[in-house]
Structure 1
Amino acid sequence: MPHEGSLLQATVIFLLAVVLLVPLAQRVNLGAVPGYLLVGVLIGPSVLGLINNSENVSRLSEMGVVLLLFVIGLELSPRKLWMMRRLLFGVGLIQVVLTGAIFAAMAFYLFAQTLQASIVLGLALALSSTAFGLQILAERKELGRPHGRMAVAILLFQDIAAIPLIAVIPLLGSVDPDQAQGGELRQLLTVLGGIGAIIVGGRFLMRPVFGWAVIPGLRELSTATALLCVLGTAWVMEHVGVSMALGAFLAGLLMAESPFRHELESQIEPFKGLLLGLFFVGVGMTADLRLLFGAPWVVLGLTLLLVVLKLPLLFGLGRLTEGLNRADAIRLGVVLASGGEFAFVVFKLALGHRLLDQQVHDLLVLVITLSMAMVPLLMIALSPLMREAPAVSGGPQAPPDISDEPKVVIAGMGRMGRVIARMLQARGISLVALDTSVQALDQQGASGRLPVYYGDPTRPDILHAAKVDTAQLVIVTTDDPQINLETVRTITRLYPGVKVIARAHDRQEALKLMDAGARPIRETFHSSLEMTRRALLMLGESEDQANAWTRSYQKQDEDQLTHRHRNEGTDDTRPKPDTDAPAEK
């Protein structure tokens, strides 16, 4: 019972501190990540000592990084990687190699670290915080700016580079000399076997398993299946002696082209956010403030060295490779100047495999924690330079839009939705389609290349995963009038700037959809007009006469519908006269 009480007490303390301090950190423009770090420092053993068992917190918080890597893998579809190839594998590679080489050389020559430890230190310090950087860019609405697109590409390459770095640390660590011969080869074969099992299982088992799980329509079963996919692959990787993060990343990568991608992302996102926040709290708890008070100039000097070396290097890359103006290049440098969350993972693994000693590990964790706290202060200090009017760039053309965000989202892939999707795709318009029928997904997978994903369009998390917030248009075409109405209401409430066209069964449904903010298209009205036009032609009318008559009738009917909507609304208790209704159901 004491254990249960202490666990409950620790949970209450954690949640209370997060609720109080993270919003406060955001109000003073520090951001959520420094807020989580501050929570960890305050409640940890270095300050108040409210939670002393940081090891249990650290173990649970690793799941946040695991889920983050899974979501990153989901975002890496082959098409997106190909679109980003120059920024991703060009600028991103240059940044990691150049920054890593500088820090590795300093660790080897100035701080007398071993060659293996220097390589690990250099590459880990070259990484920046994906969670922190993307949050800052999103808050400032700069993800679509040239420096924002460049920052996303660099962060994405850093995340990819962290995977082999995490995987190779056990091979670089200390081994027993008596078992050295043949041991490394055996370990390598074990790792390759684990990766092969994940690839085969992900290729042939994940989709059938997820398809089986969503058939009953139970959301909690879908959540359990999503967590099983992530944690199961993470467990396999840990079992063969490699980081759990590698397994999660591979699972996400394998599901990137799956029709259940959006469903997976929407189910994982809440767990990822909470556990990633717990990860940063755990990092703050492990920060040893005695080092800061005992050797303040060493700690602050290393923190400044980290930021001062990364910021100008990123500034130069932005100016030289992509022709960013000075203000945007400074923004790029500031956003990516701190250390990253994967450095914490790398350092912990390096400590466990005796590449680093405890004192160096604690010093590096504190330096990266302080560098994250320094970035918001840098943004405030350099804000006059970053507000500078953008200069006309005579350098290379700004990087192209690297996102795979759709222009159109289609909800419902029945007969109507399929025709619309094929016509738009034939015009080269990027789109994403959602449907809750597994059979429809299987048909599309077998017959064409339409990007159809499993997802309930009435759920806000699914709409977010489908990137409705960046789409120009949403077309709602499901067979269920109530689902159409709920979908329109959700979209217009969450994304009022997005245009919506919705399928209506009759005039009453059309009026309700108009109330909800959509442009209704009555499913039988236009076919009735076309049948009437052809009937007139067969009865001897000329083409011009038939076309003019149908256009006139269509305009009159639409005007009457608009008039009823403005003056009568959708009160279902009022009489429903049929005098102005067209020949439709």
Structure 2
Amino acid sequence: MLDPLIILVALACGMASRAVGLPALIGYLLAGFLLHELQVGGGDILHILSEVGITLLLFTIGLKLQPKDLLLTRIWGTTLAHMALMQVFFLAVFYLAGHLFPALELSFSASLVGAFALTFSSTVFVIQVMQERGEMASRHAGLAVGILIIQDLAAVVFLGLSAGKVPGPEALLLLLLFPLRGVILRLLTLSGHGELFTLFGLTLALGGAEVFELTGIKGDLGALVIGAVLAGHQKAKELSRNLLQFKDLFLVCFFLSIGLDGWPQREMMLLAVVIGLLAVAKPPLYFLLMTRLHTPPRTALLASMSLANYSEFGLIVVAVAASAGWMEPQWSGAISLAIAVSFLIASPLNRFSHQLYRRWCQRLQTFETEQVRATWPDTKGTRVIVLGMGNIGTGAYEAIAEQYGPEVLGVDDNDRKLAAHRAANRRVVAADASDPDFWHRVDLERVELVMLALTNHEENKLVGRLLEDLGYRGRIAAVVRFAEEAEELENCGISAFNLYAQAGSGFAAHAAAHLGAGRQDASG
């Protein structure tokens, strides 16, 4: 059982971190180091729960995964080139550190594995930050997650080789997962929408990971694969939402366990802090590689900023290497501290990443390739823009198009949605609503109405501020879910439609119309 003091300290540090504008996960990380100083141990249960959190994280990533996206050159090319260059960079850092601090006794094998561990970026950090900002559906989030998945696969390959585990012939039976997809989805449908549905999802993630372990394949990779098998179906999206709170709660244990593992020796601690600060070298290289591989500069910058950190998988790599005798156990504490420092650096970078792009956009656009320029969307003749072409946005588009026809433009960042809308002869373009480059290509003098069907309050506010900065004088309407959100947007001059509060009046109008039609039929 977890010590109540652990829960209390984690809550207090998480609240304090949020109060100063940092992600709560920074507070959890600091809570772990504080609990270590208080000599409070989490025991085996904390590590078990943290492993469950990582398994659920990879499972939910798999649920949203599109395997064909990993074949894009800008994803696999960026990942492999960045990992190779970072490996060389950190080998040079360790070589220099070994000469400056002989007491560290850095062997070549330790430096090699340590450098490899530092080439990864944190899946947990990126997902947490993107979810808090409501950007998980954005192109830069998709790019960052794609890079992280390939990095995680590289880590899994290393762990498999280091453990000397070779998948047995029974691993071939795992190929049955693909023809069983329809059966699993049918069972998910039969399980409804409540606790049975969530329990089934937990069973798929944890049970599936255990099945992969039995065949000699890393369980975390198994959870990712099972999620990917189900990806693309509506039930997969619902399952991802249902497991969100479980995943986040268990990941708190993961961040606590990093700090609870303790501190390294003084020289190693100094090296860890320097390594943590060197995380700032990652974004420029990511940006350069992404843009050379035909990624728009804004997408490249936002994705690069989110990857300016070290990974929890680095800890796993180091722990396995230490158990194999390739490096000293204190490396785990050093990498933990480096991760903590990198998180502290990455948090403000990500918090102000949109502002940074707006400030330096003209200089950053010089990295844009001709291939990217050829994909600029056509926005000519637009009078009404609908941002977000989900169910709400599609309904709004259809209603407003009855009056404005082809002068209505739908905007979304999801390629599958866009393909479906184009098949239905709707005028849509691929763009990010918060991208200033998109708005610079729109004739805002002609646009009369912008409809924000994004359902994410922070993104609605961001777009509203952006349009104000660009001098837009037309009307803005937004969908909100809570009264305080509506009040905040109204104070900014944005007309707010409370989805929940006004759904009742719409339902009543719909029912009254059917009631009137029924009476006419009866009288006729």
Tell me, yes or no, if structure 1 residue 169 matches structure 2 residue 142.
no
In 1, distance between residues paired with 2:313 and 2:323?
15
SS of match in other structure, 1:388? helix
Matches within 5 A, 1:519-538: none
Classify 1:246/1:383 alpha carbon distance in 2 versus 1 (closer, same or farther; 3 Å). Answer: closer
Contact 2:64 2:232 in 1 (8 A): no
1:340 to 302, 306, 311: 311
Classify 1:430/1:132 alpha carbon distance in 2 versus 1 (closer, same or farther; 3 Å). Answer: farther
SS of match in other structure, 2:361? coil
Matches within 5 A, 1:47-196: 47-49=37-39, 51-78=40-67, 80-81=69-70, 85-104=72-91, 106-107=93-94, 118-137=111-130, 139=132, 149-150=139-140, 152-173=142-163, 187-190=165-168, 193-194=170-171, 196=172
Alignment-derived partner of residue 267 in structure 1: 242
Alignment-derived partner of residue 476 in structure 2: none
In 2, distance between residues paired with 1:287 and 1:266?
34
Classify 1:581/1:469 alpha carbon distance in 2 versus 1 (closer, same or farther; 3 Å). Answer: farther
CA positional deviation for 1:204? 4.0
In 2, distance between residues paired with 1:256 and 1:323?
25
CA positional deviation for 1:126? 1.6
In 1, distance between residues paired with 2:130 and 2:221?
26
Alignment-derived partner of residue 32 in structure 1: 24
Classify 1:379/1:582 alpha carbon distance in 2 versus 1 (closer, same or farther; 3 Å). Answer: same
Alignment-derived partner of residue 175 in structure 2: 199
1:232 to 207, 210, 229: 207
Question: When the two structures are superposed, what TM-score results if normalisation uses the length of structure 1?
Answer: 0.60
Contact 2:160 2:166 in 1 (8 A): no
Alignment-derived partner of residue 555 in structure 1: none
What percent identity do the matched residue pairs reach?
24
Alignment-derived partner of residue 543 in structure 1: none
In 1, distance between residues paired with 2:232 and 2:505?
33
Contact 2:33 2:260 in 1 (8 A): yes
2:272 to 285, 299, 304: 299
Classify 1:313/1:52 alpha carbon distance in 2 versus 1 (closer, same or farther; 3 Å). Answer: same
Alignment-derived partner of residue 407 in structure 1: 389
CA positional deviation for 1:25? 0.2
Matches within 5 A, 1:368-383: 368-376=339-347
In 1, distance between residues paired with 2:66 and 2:352?
38
> Alpha carbon RMSD of aligned pairs, Å?
4.7
Alignment-derived partner of residue 208 in structure 1: 183
- Gaps of at least 5 residues in structure 1 are 1-6, 174-183, 412-420, 432-466, 473-490, 503-511, 526-575
CA positional deviation for 1:235? 0.9
Larger Rg: 1 or 2?
1
In 2, distance between residues paired with 1:116 and 1:428?
59
In 2, distance between residues paired with 1:239 and 1:127?
27
Tell me, yes or no, if structure 1 residue 316 matches structure 2 residue 288.
yes
Contact 2:269 2:334 in 1 (8 A): no
CA positional deviation for 1:231? 0.8
Contact 2:287 2:301 in 1 (8 A): yes
Classify 1:259/1:295 alpha carbon distance in 2 versus 1 (closer, same or farther; 3 Å). Answer: closer
Classify 1:498/1:357 alpha carbon distance in 2 versus 1 (closer, same or farther; 3 Å). Answer: farther
In 2, distance between residues paired with 1:94 and 1:241?
29
Alignment-derived partner of residue 427 in structure 1: 424
CA positional deviation for 1:65? 0.8
Classify 1:514/1:155 alpha carbon distance in 2 versus 1 (closer, same or farther; 3 Å). Answer: closer
After TM superposition, the structure 1 stretch with the greater mean CA deviation from structure 2, 20-29 or 306-315, is: 306-315
CA positional deviation for 1:492? 6.0
Q: Deviations over 1:456-515 (max 9, x none)?
A: xxxxxxxxxxx965999xxxxxxxxxxxxxxxxxx963697998999xxxxxxxxx9764
Classify 1:142/1:165 alpha carbon distance in 2 versus 1 (closer, same or farther; 3 Å). Answer: closer
CA positional deviation for 1:34? 0.9
In 2, distance between residues paired with 1:430 and 1:266?
30
After TM superposition, the structure 1 stretch with the greater mean CA deviation from structure 2, 152-161 or 60-69, is: 152-161
Count of equivalent residues: 426
Q: Deviations over 1:5-58 (max 9, x none)?
A: xx25x1x223222322212101212212211101111123xx112x32444312
